């Protein structure tokens, strides 16, 4: 065997080592992909019921929120009607202002008399 035969054996054995290294890397990458696939399937299987529970919870919470929204809308309508009625009553009714003024005056006189009685005692 000459120098060319020895070089051929060395080249063939180095190609064998390279082929083994590449096949080892491919096998490792294949295992990694299989493991990632199994992990992804497990995560998907666990999150599907969780998403369904969240959907159910959100649906259950939305019901009371919608009724609360209707209640607040009704309260807003009522307070608006009371405001309009009060402002209309006070704007158009001069006697109402006179009666209110008389009531306030009577209340102030009553306070003044009770203070004088307390001072006298």
pLDDT of 93 reads 63
Question: Average of pLDDT values for 39-46?
Answer: 92
CA distance 38 to 103: 83
**pLDDT category, 9, cuts 50, 70, 90?**
very high
pLDDT tens, 56-90? 999 999 988 888 889 999 989 998 888 887 777 66
The structure's pTM equals 0.42
Residue 119 has pLDDT above 60, yes or no: no
pLDDT tens, 10-21? 999 999 999 999
Write the CB contacts of 96 (distance below 8 Å, at least 6 apart in sequence).
89, 90
CA distance 12 to 108: 117
């Amino acid at each position: 065997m000459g120098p060319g035969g020895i070089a051929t054996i060395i080249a063939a054995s180095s190609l064998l080592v390279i082929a083994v290294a590449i096949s080892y890397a491919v096998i490792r990458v294949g295992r990694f992909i299989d493991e990632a696939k199994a992990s992804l399937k497990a995560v998907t299987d666990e999150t599907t019921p969780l998403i369904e529970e969240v959907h159910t919870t959100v649906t259950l919470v939305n019901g009371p929120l919608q009724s609360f929204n209707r209640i607040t809308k009704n309260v807003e309508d009522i307070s608006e009607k009371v405001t309009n009625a009060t402002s209309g009553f006070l704007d158009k009714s001069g006697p109402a202002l006179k009666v209110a003024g008389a009531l306030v005056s009577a209340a102030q006189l009553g306070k003044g008399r009770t203070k004088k009685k307390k001072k006298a005692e």
